[in-house]
């Protein structure tokens, strides 16, 4: 489960409609139009929406560390810190408004939260 959740997060981040950019249209009927991108796309990063790409990079690092060191207790602290950073960066598009946050982004944030809870519980069980 500790490896499955980052894999699911990575798959969700790779979807082509995982993050959104809102552009001003020059039409009176439709004042804005939206373009959807993957978390790995550099286009949102170029438009100063840094959170999705940072979250995707963080998820890759988290997956590698959770595969390499699944049962070592000293690496659980690193995994917890990386997961908290991933949760913060996955919620960062909300700083621009709700229009910049997708349903897939919500699922990614929820999965990060669940992963943090599971890591903390497994860390406490190993300490006891």
Q: Which pTM does this prediction carry?
A: 0.88
34 neighbors 113 (Cβ within 8 angstroms): no
Judge residue 113's burial from the number of C-beta atoms within 10 Å of its C-beta, 0-12 exposed, 13-18 middle, 19 or more buried.
Answer: middle
Can you give the pLDDT of all 128 residues of the chain as single tens digits? 788 999 999 999 999 999 999 888 887 778 888 899 999 999 998 988 899 999 999 999 999 998 887 666 677 888 899 999 999 999 999 998 898 899 999 999 999 999 999 988 887 776 65
126 neighbors 79 (Cβ within 8 angstroms): no
Q: What is the pLDDT of residue 73?
A: 67
């Amino acid at each position: 489960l500790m490896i499955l959740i980052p894999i699911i997060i990575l798959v969700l981040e790779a979807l082509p409609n995982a993050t959104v950019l809102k552009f001003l249209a020059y039409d009176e009927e439709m004042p804005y139009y939206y373009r959807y991108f993957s978390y790995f796309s550099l286009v949102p990063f170029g438009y100063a929406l840094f959170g999705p790409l940072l979250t995707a990079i963080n998820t890759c690092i988290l997956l590698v560390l959770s595969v390499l060191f699944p049962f070592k207790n000293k690496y659980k602290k690193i995994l917890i810190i990386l997961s908290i950073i991933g949760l913060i960066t996955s919620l960062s598009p909300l700083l621009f408004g709700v229009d910049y946050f997708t349903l897939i982004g919500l699922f990614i944030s929820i999965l990060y939260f669940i992963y943090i809870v599971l890591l903390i519980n497994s860390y406490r069980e190993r300490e006891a």
